[in-house]
Amino acid sequence: MSMLEVENTIVDLPTPRGMLRAVDGVDLTLEAGKTLGVVGESGSGKTMLSRAILQLLPRRAKLSGAIRFDGQDMTRIPAETLRKLRAKSVAVVFQDPMTSLNPVLTIGTQLTETMREHLGVSQSEAISRGIALLAEVGIPSPEQRMGNYPHQLSGGMRQRVAIAIALSCAPKLLIADEPTTALDVTVQAQILDLLAREQRSRHMAMMLITHDLGVVAGRTDEVAVMYAGRVVERAPTRELFHHMRMPYTAALMAALPKLDAPPHTRLPAIGGRPPDPINPPPGCSFAPRCSYADAVCDKAKPPLSAPDRMAHQFACIRPLPVKVAA
Amino acid sequence: MLKLIGRRLLYLLPVLLAVSVLTFLVAALLPGDMAEVLLGDQATPETLAALRHDMGLDQPLLVRYFIWLSHVLQGDFGRSFRTGQTVLSAVAERLPISLELMLGAQLIGLSIGIPVAIICAVRQGSWFDRTMTGGAFGMLSVPSFLSAILLIWLFAVQFQILPATGYTPFSEDPWGNLRGFVLPALTLALGEWPVITRVLRSDMIATLQEDFIAMARAKGLKQSRILLVHALKPSSLTLVTVTGINIGRLIGGAVIVETIFAMPGIGRLLVTAIYSRDLMMLQGVVLLVASGFVMLNFIVDLLYATLDPRIRHGRG
């Protein structure tokens, strides 16, 4: 039994135009202490998937499938049981620390309240633990920072505070939803390194959600690439970067700027737009933008399968050839 | 913070000056003057002119204004020409009654309005939400004299549990005093809570969409803490503004309610002063009430800073 098992999870969101299928039958597993990178462009459903795992979907959203944490289906437990499990089982770091921290409460309040609620520690104990946590995530003069409000800190510092809050109850799984997208480039690497360091030292599982393949390379054990609500390729990180099979993953990779490219090189952006999630095409949802697609691709959605290597799954009828090891 | 207070206080000066001009003009422009009221219908033009001269009413408006203003600035608001009582002592005598009434109304209004707003925001679109927002709208259109009469009929006539009219000083009978205030305060509050609910509900709905509320949920906090600590405080800026402005409505409402419930408050003092063309009293009371209103809204401005640290630190 894996620590986290996401099974055939579907998330539908009602919109004025009709039901929008944000997550379309996702299966994922994550072992304790491991890291999974979830990569996809905007609207690929990666954030909705994380919200489903966190049980934080909008009230009108319809969720089906099972999301088991330590064998317990989080979608079927009573609200109060779920509330008590939160923070200690799954914690989250959101994209923008400007909006994920409450502007009218002090850092100290936001940091200690979770520990007070779940760990049953006294206020003074929570404060000293909070100061230690702030120091751990690299915040200078943490005692003073406890009395500060979020707006008095820089973006990078705020995200460090958000990480300290997420870590405060020693979660088994940390979901980091684009944790560096809203930050200055100079602090992005620092925050990612901090997350990786905490993940290792705490033997915590981590789900790193990003639109940037470069972020997951070297920082995750496994990568799942999402497109139009589905996982289209999933493999151990090393394997994925060496043998991309799904043309979408390869196109994402090609769209990354390269340092060694000559000046004024045009980035090979992926042409076209993602399919309309309210009226998805019957076949492979990437087919309309795919340069390898043929008529077969428009017939039916290819399932996520691992035809030749057990650990490397992809959903494609016309996969890229396996590169011969050089 | 001190600089903020100082700057805001400076803004008050022109406001108060404008209030004094308006007050004086309104009183001066009322048809009929004190001399006519004092002498009655039988007065000859000569006696009227003589009295006007004695009272300084024949002076130009501007001169009269500056004479009045210079007295006011020295703390002399003049005397009622009817009773001879000074304006200040008349106001001091009646102010506690009106304050108790408005405080009671505000408390009842907030204690109905805030919980209703929170429940409506959390259960947005539910039957409770629809009933309450609809009900609030309906309640806003009921004039206070009508709700006063309905309340009197219900609680004083049908159930006979509360007095219909009258005022008992707190020092004589504290319980009787409070009982006497229930219906008038409730009357005013019935016009108050819909405003509070409507404003707070929409702000709460917006706040509940914020990331930090999702974060608070992810932290596994109790629903009560999420709503009352994480959501209510950042949603209450407009509520505080509206509550401050509503004091103005309450003063207007108090005039009607004090008359219906026979409470000797500022409202009644004002009405009597208008009927008897007691200009000194009228000017003085209006100026004092308006200054009080301006001061209260100054305090409301300061409350913002308490609610939102970004204002306190001079940002945002």
**Bridging pattern class, strands A18-30 and A90-93:** unpaired
Contact residues, chain B, for A162 at CB < 8 Å: 215
Who's near A214: CB < 8 A, 6+ residues apart?
A256
Task: Judge contact between A229 and A212, C-beta under 8 A.
Answer: no
Mean pLDDT to the nearest integer, B296-309: 82
Specify the 3-state DSSP secondary structure of A203: coil
pLDDT band at residue B316 using 50, 70 and 90 as cut-offs? very low
Cα–Cα distance for residue pair B59/B141, rounded to 1 Å: 45
pLDDT band at residue B314 using 50, 70 and 90 as cut-offs? low
Q: Is the pLDDT of residue B309 over 50?
A: yes
Place of tokens 């990569």: A39
Specify the 3-state DSSP secondary structure of B48: helix
Cα–Cα distance for residue pair B259/B167, rounded to 1 Å: 12
* Better-predicted residue by pLDDT, A168 or B42: A168
B133–chain A nearest CA distance, Å: 21
Range 202-221 of B in CB contact (< 8 A) with A: 210-212, 214-221
Percentage with pLDDT > 70 across chain A? 98
Average per-residue pLDDT for chain A: 90
Mean pLDDT to the nearest integer, B166-172: 79
pTM of the model: 0.83
Nearest CA to A40 out of A201, A246, A324, A182 is that of: A246
Lowest mean pLDDT among A68-77, A307-316, B266-275: A307-316
Task: Judge contact between A93 and A177, C-beta under 8 A.
Answer: yes
pLDDT tens for A110-122 read 999 999 999 999 9
Cross-chain residue pair B220–A83, CB shorter than 8 Å? yes
- List own/partner pairs for B94-99 with CB under 8 A and 24 or more apart: B94/B264, B94/B265, B94/B266, B94/B268, B94/B269, B95/B265, B95/B266, B97/B167, B97/B258, B97/B263, B97/B264, B97/B265, B97/B266, B98/B251, B98/B254, B98/B258, B98/B265, B98/B266, B98/B267
* Better-predicted residue by pLDDT, B41 or A10: A10
Cα–Cα distance for residue pair A37/A219, rounded to 1 Å: 8
Tokens (6 digits) for A270: 């992926």
Q: Helices A107-118 and A123-136 sit at what angle, rounded to 10 degrees?
A: 120
Mean pLDDT to the nearest integer, A249-270: 81
Q: What is the DSSP string of B188-218?
A: HHHHHHHHHHHHHHHHHHHHHTSHHHHHHHH
Cross-chain residue pair B221–A117, CB shorter than 8 Å? yes
Is A112 at the interface with chain B, CB within 8 A? Answer: no
Is A116 at the interface with chain B, CB within 8 A? Answer: no
Mean pLDDT to the nearest integer, A92-115: 93
Cα–Cα distance for residue pair B294/A179, rounded to 1 Å: 47
Percentage with pLDDT > 90 across chain A? 59
Task: Judge contact between A174 and A204, C-beta under 8 A.
Answer: yes
Tokens (6 digits) for B52: 């006007």
Percentage with pLDDT > 90 across chain B? 24
Specify the 3-state DSSP secondary structure of B5: helix
Q: What is the pLDDT of residue A136?
A: 93
pLDDT tens for B90-119 read 999 898 888 889 999 999 999 999 999 999
β-partners of residue A66 are A7
Q: What angle do CA B290, B109, B128 make, to 5 degrees?
A: 145
For chains A and B, CB pairs below 8 A equal: 78
B243–chain A nearest CA distance, Å: 20
Contact residues, chain B, for A118 at CB < 8 Å: 220
| CA atoms within a 13 Å half-sphere pointing along the CA-CB vector of A124 | 0
Looking at residue A275, its amino acid is P
Average per-residue pLDDT for chain B: 86
Task: Judge contact between A221 and A36, C-beta under 8 A.
Answer: yes
Q: Is the pLDDT of residue A324 over 60?
A: no
**Which of A51, A81, A95, A104 would best serve as a mutation to test chain B binding (most B beta carbons within 10 A)?**
A104
Contact residues, chain B, for A54 at CB < 8 Å: 218
Tokens (6 digits) for A239: 């394997």
Q: What is the pLDDT of residue A326?
A: 45
Place of tokens 């004190």: B34
Is B229 at the interface with chain A, CB within 8 A? Answer: yes
β-partners of residue A29 are A5
β-partners of residue A36 are A207, A222
pLDDT tens for B221-237 read 999 999 999 999 999 88
| The dihedral formed by the CA atoms of B200, B206, B210 and B215, expressed in degrees to the nearest 10 | 50
Cα–Cα distance for residue pair B25/B208, rounded to 1 Å: 48
Contact residues, chain B, for A105 at CB < 8 Å: 229-230, 233
Domain architecture of chain B: domains with CATH: 2-73 (no CATH), 93-312 (1.10.3720.10)
